Structures are given as C-alpha cells and as structure tokens.
Chains A and B, each alone.
Chain A
Amino acid sequence: MKQERIQVQKVNLLKMDQHDLNIFMKRYGIGFVLLGMFIVLSVASPRFLTVLNLSNVLTTVSINGLLAMGMVFVITAGGIDLSIGSMLALGSVTIGLIMNATGSIFLACAGSIIICALFGLVNGFLVAKFDMFPFVVTLASMLVIRGVSYVMSGGYSFALAKPEFAQIGLGKLFGAIPFPALIFVIITLMAFVLLQLTKFGRYVYAVGGNIKSATASGVNVLWTRIGTFVIMGICAGTAAIIMTARINAAQPNIGTGYEVDAIAACVIGGTSFSGGISTIPGTFIGVMIIGLIFNGMNLIGISSYWQIIMKGLLIIAAVMMDKFINRKN
C-alpha cells in the first residue's frame, strides 16, 4: 500500500529515476552548454581539441577558477565579496616585499595567503558580527585593501629577486601539466570535499538557506559566515601567487574587475544569489565556460570586444535556463 502511494516514473538513464534525474538536471544542466561549446569549437577549429590548447585553457582560467572556488562559499552562505580584485594586488605586493627582503619563495607565498586570509577574516567579522551588508562591507574593504597595497609598494611595480619564482606560472609538472592548472584542479577538489562532504559545508548551506533555522538548529552561524570569507581570502592569496608569477613582477594595480568574472562563473554554474544553493562541479563548469568563450573566440578570430558582450549575454542565458529547468510548476 505505502509503496504504491508515490508513483515514480522510472527513467533508465544512468540508473536514475525521474526524481534523481530532475535533481541532476537542476544541478548540472549547464554542463550541456559546456558540452555544446566543446563540440562547436572542435568542429570550427582544428586547433581547439589539442592537448596544448586545452592545457592552455586550464592555465588561463586558473586565476578566475581559484577566485570562483572561494566565491562560491561566500555566495552560498548568503554573502558576496567585492574585495578580491584588490586582494590580488595586495598579495602581489606582499610576495614582492617578502621575497626581496628574505629571499624565500616559500615565505613570500605563505605571506600572500596569510595576509589575504586575514583581510577575509576582517570582512567576515564585520559582516557576521555586526550584521552589515556584505556588499557594502566588501565595497569598502576593496578600497582599503587597494590603498594598503599602494602604500606598501609606494605606488610602483617592482621586480622580484628570485627569477625561479616565474616557474610557478610557466613550469609544467612532468613537462605536461602546467602548475597553475594543477593548483586549480587541486583547490577544486579540496573545495568539493569541504563544501559537499563535510559538516562545515552543510552549515554553509544551512546558513545561506535559512539563517534563522540554522541558528535554531544550533549551527555556529557567526563562525560559519566568517569561515567562508577566510576561505575566499585563502583562494585569493593563492591566485595572487599565480598571477604575480605570470607577470613576474609585484604590481599594486592589478586585479581590477576580477570579482566580476568570479561571480559570473558561480552564477553560470547554478549558484543561487540568495544563498543556499550551489555545487562545486557546477562552479567548475561555469569557470570553464567563461574560459572557452575567450579561447574559442580567439581561435575562430572574433574580436575581444564581442567576447565581453558574449559573456554578458551568457550570464543572462544561464540564469534564464536555470529558471526554465527549475520552474516551480
């Protein structure tokens, strides 16, 4: 009797029933867009589907990818972080100063990650403790952090003492896998475990989904929210290492506008702006889609002005598709 009550249509695709399929489509439907882009680009350009080109794509998306992996935590918990572009600059300047003072690449990298994490902590504390709007708090800290990096560097770019450092941006593991791509993939895996398999991740979803219910369920809302901003800082500090290595100089003026692409990647990947809904694979797909727009259009020879327009249109398309798939009726 009980079993008959709920009639579930069996759809034998990947051994999923209708409901699993619905959930799957809801979360990863955007993957078909990526697949479509892959097919179109491989047909349009013979150079697209080569190991060299694809590892290039992974390298170019790595900075935005790292930022998006941090951003997805913040947005899922119901926040937003606009200060990450400035964090890239601050990280870069920190790397330069520490490296030139101590000669240690390790200390320089650690310094970048720590200082960005600290600013993330401050952002998170202001947002969570005083219940201020994350948009406003990080808008302000975007200015402060940018200013700090100018003060620290005296306003100028400067060269790095260790030329080997550039290898982080250029080098390849076993001569095949570029280091930035490797770092991006590792951070993605770590983000997946953290957000989707741990208690902390569950709390992030709960806080973003319904903060009052999370409080009434005994979730430590304060530290969960702060935690997401710290993770964002760590990701930004790591991205700053790759970026500095690739330009091979410490620069206080880099990173403007990088928050836009990171947020775009999250949204295209199905992250809900009101919090509580997101996946790491979805975000990864979002990052790749943005990367392919640039790479693919370059290959086909479309001007970069059009690429920007495409990116904007794609965000709208992604959100519309999300509404279409998740139609609540």
Chain B
Amino acid sequence: MHKNAGSENNSYEFILDCNDITKQYGGTQALNGVQLKLKKGQVHALIGENGAGKSTLMKIIGGLVQPNSGTVFFEGKHYQAKSPVEAINAGIAMIHQELNPQPYLSIAESIFLNREDNYKNIPILNKKATNERAVKVLKKFNISLNPKIHMEHLTLAQIQMIEIVKAVSTNARLILMDEPTSSLDSEETEHLFNTIRDLQSKGVTIVYISHRMDEIFDVCDSYSVFRDGSFIDSGNISDVTKNDLISLMVGRVVKNIFPKVECSIHDVVFRAEKLCGKGFKDISFEVHAGEILGITGLVGSGRSETMESIFGLNPLNSGKMYLYEKEIRIKNVRDAMDKGIAMINEDRKEYGLCLFRSITENISLPSLRKKHKGILINQKKEKEECNEIASKLSIKMANIKTDAFSLSGGNQQKVVVAKWLMDRPELIILDEPTRGVDVGAKAEIHSLMCQFAAEGMAIIMVSSELPEVMGMSDRILIYHEGSLNGEITRSEILSGKENQETILKKEFGGR
C-alpha cells in the first residue's frame, strides 16, 4: 500500500497543482484554462454557480473525463488519470455529485467493490471478512445499518453516506467531495464534518464543493471560485465574508437569499387528518392559501414519505384528506394532479428526470395533458413556454433541445422545478426544491415561491436546510421519527423565541 506522504520529501509547494485546464463538450466550453492549487492537509472549498465547471474539474482529476489541454501535478509528480482506477491507485478518492448505486449489491459489497477480501491464497470471496470490515467502518460514522442490506433499499441520504464511507475508507491522500451534503440532514452533516476534521489531522487534503455557504465557513480553510468555466479568485476563508464569496461567484451582489414577502393568508386549502402510512403515523396539519408551510426533520423521519403518500406515489394506510374542506381520495399521481396538487420529488434522478430526453420534453411532460387539447402537441407553443420558464429560472444550457443529461447538477434541479411550475397547481409540495442549486438561483426560486403564494397558491416546502426553512416559512412543522413534534410560527422565529438550536432539539425528539 501507499506510504503516508507526510514522511516523504516535501519538495512540492502544492499537493495538487492544476494549470490551464480546458474542457469542451461539443460546443460548450465547460472549463476555460482554470487552475486549482491545494496545500497539503487543507480543506479547500471549490465554489461557483451551477454550471461553472466544478464537477467537470473533479471528474478530470478523478479520471472520469479527459481534459482537452492542461497539466496536473500531484505530490510534485506529473499526473494524468485515464480511468477512476488509476486515480484511486494514485491516492485520490472521489464522492460523486450524482449518485450511481449498484442496486443489487449489499452495502458491504459496494463499499469494498474492487477491494474484496479473499480466503487465504485462494481466489474465492470471503464475504464474512468483508462484512466485518464494513461493520467497522460504518461504526466510525455512527451508521447502524446491516452491511448485508442491498443498496436498492436505502434512501437517498443513506446512499450518500455509503458513498462517503467508501471514499474515506480507501485511505486516499486527496478526497474530492462533490456536494456531499446536498441530501443530508444536520445530524449527518455534523458527522461528516467531524470526519473531515479527523482526516485533516491525519494530513489528508480535501476538496469540498457545496452551495451552502454556512458549511464552507464551518469546515474549509481556503477557497477557489469559478465562474462560467473560468478561474476567478482564490484565498483563505478567514480573509473573506459570505457576501464577498457570493459576489465573486455570481459577479454581482445578491442581497437576500430568502426574499420572503409577507402576504395575506386565506382559507384552508388542504387539510390532513391522522394520516398513517409506511414511515409515519398520525400526521394532521393544514395549509392555507397564500401560506408557505415549512416541514423539517431528520432524514428518514417520514417527511418525504408523508408527502409521497399525499401525492399518490405510495399508498396511505389510514387517515383522511380534505381539499377546500371536501374529502378527497387519491389513488395515484394523476388523481392528485387532476385535483390540483403538484409535487417536486427530492430524488431528481429517480423521480424527476428522463435524463436522455430533451429539456423541453422533461419540462412539459406533466402539463401535456392540460395544456394541449386533442392528441397532437403544439410544438411551437410548447417550445415558447419552455423557453420562457427556462430563462426565468436561468437554466444554463446550450439549447432547449439538448438532453437533460448534459446539464450540470444544479441546472437539472431547475428543470425539475420548471416542470411543476408550468401549470399552476392549487397546492404544491416542494421536497428539497433547491437541492444543489446555487445562491443566485436559490434566491430566484424563493422569490417565485413567494410570488405564487401571493397569487393564492398553498405551498408545502420540505427541506433539511434550516436557514431555508426558517427564512421562507410562515409556519414550520417538525418531524421526529414518523410523528409531528412541534409547530413554530414565523413570529416566534422573528422574535427570537425559536432558533436553529431549538428546532434541532425538536428534531431529535426534545420539546
């Protein structure tokens, strides 16, 4: 195995030194002569808007993508990985932004894929040894999952945690983390941060990508900013403020990420009474026209499960639902849509997008039934409407006809949002609507939410990001292990009676 680099000569200034990296996709210039310089043992934040080229550079270093030009030095030596295996062998591990779990492998098998244990001297897999190893590494992360469970049964957050465990367990000297926290809750994020600090003390270098500014100021030492495929600036985190970074990223000043507009709240639109289903029980709440109802809780506390059942994706065991005080029954998604309910699913890859179809087709899919009378699609109208909403959300794309696959992660998320804003529903459920979306676009999505609320829509917003929930909601419901554990109003937050700590306490079951 590799020796720890710490004892070797330190003849290099930077452990990773990338210069003039260029990458073109067809006609799109994803990277335009960027640099990235990392000092050993630092946690380095790589920030930039959606589509700035962050993931592209990570994929180049991780050996998934070949650059058109540029040089990379790793530990003072010329480095070029033609495949992920070469990167891993050189001591570089990567946590991907888009998760690609192997559904039929067990947790242990996926963590140690390519690094399996054999019986002594015979090439036969020793599953027991692998499972034991898995239990050990999982324990370090406080994950109490059975390593024999298949990946297909895990939630998005769990899959993300397994990816993290996998990368960390390779004993790499450089770990590239591409939005590792986008689907994690505060508890899991805290675990990750502890791990990062632990790794750092062992001399491991980390590249950390995130659109959550608070996190960057929590764990990072230094930063680099990309904008539109170009390198803009780098420096030490201690020398800058949040607003400095944001204006470096966007090229302008974003005044307020949470442009909450107080608007008058009208009648009850939707009411749930004692809903029970897989993962939640006795959930009762109501949401009014013009109201943004925030829902938070730890991942796996039943938030998303409740919402999916309301939207007809999963069956309800019992309970009643009322729309405008009339009882409704929802058998499937079409039922829900016909009644004026829409939902943005948290898992954009599984439930949100057809990756290999065009942006237009993705955006217009749910609204085809209502918007186009007869059997034919009015192609011109469709194109105009999609272009309009795409520019409203400033989706960065080469062309509206290109595949959703070619978009950066945050821009894919915007496509999912666009999809459901096309036809104005009465009630919209947003499950992690700004996952992986940059600050500028976040502000845009938030102000759209306010605009729709002002027009009388009822909005339910599920989010793990507490600043978002606190900044946007009129009322907040807190989940704990499948039931509601507390309700907070906006005035209680504004008056300071409730804050991040008190909400977290409720998420953990406290009062």
Contact = CB atoms under 8 A, between A and B. Distances in A.
Q: Are A and B subunits of one complex?
A: yes
A9 B27 contact: yes
B340 to A, nearest CB: 12
Given A7-B27, A197-B377, A200-B375, A215 B333 contact: yes
Nearest to B371: A199
A2 B394 contact: yes
Contact of B28 (A6, A219, A328): A6
A197 B357 contact: no
Contact of A214 (B27, B365, B375): B365
B372 interface: yes
A212 B350 CA distance: 6
B357 A217 contact: no
Contacts of A220: 334
Interface string A229-241: 0000000000000
What's the interface size class on A, roughly? 35 or more
B313 interface: yes
B29 A7 contact: yes
B368 interface: yes
B376 interface: yes
A135 B480 CA distance: 45
B379 interface: yes
Contacts of A294: none
Interface stretch (B157-165, B187-195, B395-403): B395-403
Interface in A1-56: 2, 5-9, 17-20, 22-23
Nearest to A9: B27
A272 B22 CA distance: 31
Contact of A276 (B26, B356, B399): B356
Contacts of A218: 333-334, 336-337, 366, 369
B365 A219 contact: yes
B377 A20 contact: no
Interface residues of B, number: 44
Contacts of A160: none
A213 B353 CA distance: 6
B27 A198 contact: no
A203 B311 CA distance: 20
Given A209-B357, A212-B350, A217 B399 contact: no
B66 interface: yes
A7 B405 CA distance: 19
Most chain-B Cβ atoms within 10 A of its Cβ — which of A5, A214, A218?
A: A218
A217 B376 contact: no
Contact of B401 (A18, A23, A205, A210): A23
B352 interface: yes
A101 interface: no
Nearest to B364: A202
Contacts of A5: 228, 396
B333 A23 contact: no
B395 to A, nearest CB: 11
**Which 8 pairs, one residue from A and one from B, show the smallest C-beta to C-beta distance?**
A209-B354, A18-B27, A216-B351, A19-B399, A217-B366, A218-B337, A210-B354, A8-B27
24 contacts: A6-B396, A7-B27, A8-B399, A18-B27, A19-B27, A19-B402, A20-B401, A193-B376, A206-B357, A206-B365, A209-B354, A209-B356, A210-B353, A213-B350, A213-B354, A215-B351, A216-B311, A216-B345, A217-B366, A217-B419, A218-B369, A277-B356, A328-B405, A329-B66
